[in-house]
Amino acid sequence: MNRIITSISIAAFTALAVFSCKPKYEEPTFSKGEIDPSRFVMIGGGHVAGYMNDGLYFEGQENSLANIIARQLAKVGGGNFNQPLVDQSSIGISSNLLSPMKLGYKTDCKGVSSLSPIRIAAQGDLGIFNQNIYSTNALFGNYGIPGLKLADVFSSNSNPFFTRMASSISASIMDDAFASQPTFFSLFLGLEEVLSYAKSGGTTEYIQPNILFEYFYDQVLLTATANGAKGVLATIPDVSEMPYFTTIPWNGLTLDAASNTTLNSIYNPLGYYFTVGSNPFMIVDSTANAFAVRQILPTELLTLSLPLDSVKCNQMGVLFPIRDEFVLDAGELQYLRGVIAEYNQVIRDLAAKYNLAVVDVYDFSKNLKSGFVYNGVTMSSKFVSGGAYSLDGIHFNAKGNALLANEFIKAINLNYKSRIPQVDANAFNSTLFP
C-alpha cells in the first residue's frame, strides 16, 4: 500500500512539473476606438515617404513612418496600405539624383581613412523617375513626397517623386490622395518648408508666412474631413536640432602654436583672437566689418554639407571664411525657430478647430535631443551614434521612424480612445556598420 502511495506521488510530482509550469498568455484585445482605420492616407514630405540615408529606396519605404503606422492600424481593422514602392532591386535615388548613402571608409585629403557616410553608387537609379506606377486597382495611401511643401498640394506638380505615382500629368496631390475616400488620415506638413530654408544656410527665399500656411492647411482639412474622417496632425520638429546642423562643432578649428601666431597677426586688427587648441571657425558675414568676416558664435550652426576636405587642407574656415550657405547664424536661427513656433501654433489651432489628434513631433525632437533610453538602448539626436537619424542627418532611419510612429500611435490612442499596439522599435534597423 505504502509503495503504491509512494509511486503515485512521484508520478504526480513529475506530471505537475511537466504540464503546469508555463504561465498562460492572455491574448491582448486591441480596439480602433472612435476611428475607422479601413482606408488610411498620410501626406507629408520625405519623413513620411521613407526617404532615408539621402535616398528613396525599397527598404526605406518598407520602413516608412506611414507604413509602420498603417501596419499597426491593420491590427484594429485597417485595410491594405499601398505605397509607391521602388523596385526591390533598385539602388534608389536621392533628391539630387545621387544614390543613397551607407556607412563606409573614406580617405580624406590628409590620407586618413575613417568611417564616414559614402554613396553606394556613382549616381542614383534614374529609371525610378521615368516610370509611372499609378494603378486604379491599388490606390496609394502614402503621399509622402520628398520636398513637398504645403502650397504645392493643390495643383499639378513636377516633383519627380510625385509624377512617378500621379494618376495623370494634370492631377494634384489633393486629387490623388483623396480619390480613395480615406476614412482616416495623417498630415505631416510644413517640415519641408523650414528644412529647405535651414539646409540652404538661410540663403533661400523666406519661408511662407504663417497666414498662408494656415489658409492652405485649412483647405486640406476641409477636404480631408468632408466625409467625417478622423485624423492625426503632426507638429514640426525643431530642425536646428537635427544632426545635419549639430554635428560639426562651432569651435572645430584646432590650432598649433605656429598657426596660432599667424592667425592672431592677421585677425587681431579686426578684433578676433585665437589660442592654441580649439577655436571658433571664421565665417562670412557682410555686416561684420569691411572684410565681411567674423568668428562664429557658440550658438550658431554649421551644416553637414560643409566640405570638410577644404576645411582640413585648404584653410576653409580659417583664411577663407565659411560661406553663408553652410552657416545658420543667430539671426537666421531666430527666424527659423520663430516660423516653426508659428506653424506649430497653426497646426494645434486647426486640430482643435476640427477636433483632431495632434502628435507633438516638436516635443519628440526635444526629447531626442536630451536623449532617452528605449528598452535598454540609448537614443539621441547625435549623428550615427544616436541611433535614430539616418546618414543624411535629417531623415530618420527605420528605427527612428518606428520610435516616431509610436508617438503617432500614442496620440491616436489618447485622442480617439483606441487601443492600438506600439511597435518594438529595436526590431527596426538603425545605421549598419561595416
Partner 1 sequence: MKQIYIFSCILSLFFLPKLSYAQGFQVNFQGQKQQGMGCAGTALFQDGASIFYNPGSVAFSNENSINIASTPIFSNVLYVDSATQQAYRTKNPVGTPFSAYGIFQAHKHDKLKFGIAAYTPFGSTVQWEENWIGRFALTRLELKAIYIQPTLSYRIADVIGIGAGFIISTGNVNLQKDVPVQDSLGNYGHAELAGKALGFGFNAGIHYDLNKKLSVGITYRSQINMKVKNGVATFTVPPSLNTNFPDGAFTGALPLPNVTTLGWAYKATKKWHFVLDINYVGWKAYDTLAFDYEKNTTSLLDTKSARNYKSIFAFRGGAMFKANGKLDLRLGSGFGFSPVPDASVTPETPDANRFYFTGGLSYRFTEKFSIDASIYYTQLKRTAQNAETNLYGTYRTKAVAPGFSLIYKW
Residues at the site binding partner 1, with contacts judged by CB under 8 A? 2, 5-6, 9-10, 13-14, 16-18, 20-25, 28, 30, 103, 105, 115, 372-378, 387, 406, 421-424, 426-427, 429-434
Q: How far is the CB of 380 from partner 1 (least distance, A)?
A: 12
Cβ-based nearer residue to partner 1, 28 or 269: 28
Q: How far is the CB of 293 from partner 1 (least distance, A)?
A: 35
Cβ-based nearer residue to partner 1, 9 or 289: 9
Q: How far is the CB of 426 from partner 1 (least distance, A)?
A: 7
**What is the rounded (10 degree) CA torsion for 426, 427, 428, 432?**
80
Cβ-based nearer residue to partner 1, 15 or 97: 15
Q: How far is the CB of 417 from partner 1 (least distance, A)?
A: 17
Measured CA to CA, the distance from residue 9 to residue 25 in angstroms comes to: 29
Measured CA to CA, the distance from residue 50 to residue 56 in angstroms comes to: 7
Cβ-based nearer residue to partner 1, 161 or 428: 428
Q: Are 311 and 317 spatial neighbours (Cβ–Cβ below 8 Å)?
A: yes
Cβ-based nearer residue to partner 1, 303 or 401: 401
Measured CA to CA, the distance from residue 104 to residue 66 in angstroms comes to: 29
Cα 54 → chain centroid: 11
Residues in the chain: 434
Cβ-based nearer residue to partner 1, 81 or 428: 428
Q: How far is the CB of 98 from partner 1 (least distance, A)?
A: 21
Q: How far is the CB of 6 from partner 1 (least distance, A)?
A: 5
Angle between helices 330-354 and 210-224 (to 10 degrees): 30
Measured CA to CA, the distance from residue 326 to residue 305 in angstroms comes to: 7
Q: How far is the CB of 41 from partner 1 (least distance, A)?
A: 25
Name the β-bridge partners of 116. Answer: 104
Helices (H), 34-115: 46-49, 58-62, 65-73
Cβ-based nearer residue to partner 1, 103 or 151: 103
Query: Which residue carries 554635428 as its cell?
Result: 247
> Which residues have a Cβ under 8 Å from the Cβ of 23 and sit 6 or more positions away?
none
Task: Give the pairing of strands 327-328 and 301-302.
Answer: antiparallel
Measured CA to CA, the distance from residue 111 to residue 134 in angstroms comes to: 48
Distances (CA, A) of 52 to 49, 226, 309, 326, 388: 9, 33, 24, 21, 11
Cβ-based nearer residue to partner 1, 167 or 422: 422
Cβ-based nearer residue to partner 1, 269 or 434: 434
Q: How far is the CB of 391 from partner 1 (least distance, A)?
A: 13
Q: Are 274 and 255 spatial neighbours (Cβ–Cβ below 8 Å)?
A: yes
Cα 389 → chain centroid: 7
Q: How far is the CB of 276 from partner 1 (least distance, A)?
A: 24
Q: How far is the CB of 93 from partner 1 (least distance, A)?
A: 21
Q: How far is the CB of 120 from partner 1 (least distance, A)?
A: 12
126-137 b/e (C-beta count within 10 Å ≥ 16 → b): eebeeeeebeee
Cβ-based nearer residue to partner 1, 344 or 418: 418
Measured CA to CA, the distance from residue 255 to residue 263 in angstroms comes to: 9
Cβ-based nearer residue to partner 1, 266 or 423: 423
Q: Are 225 and 364 spatial neighbours (Cβ–Cβ below 8 Å)?
A: no
Measured CA to CA, the distance from residue 254 to residue 259 in angstroms comes to: 9
Q: Are 40 and 81 spatial neighbours (Cβ–Cβ below 8 Å)?
A: yes
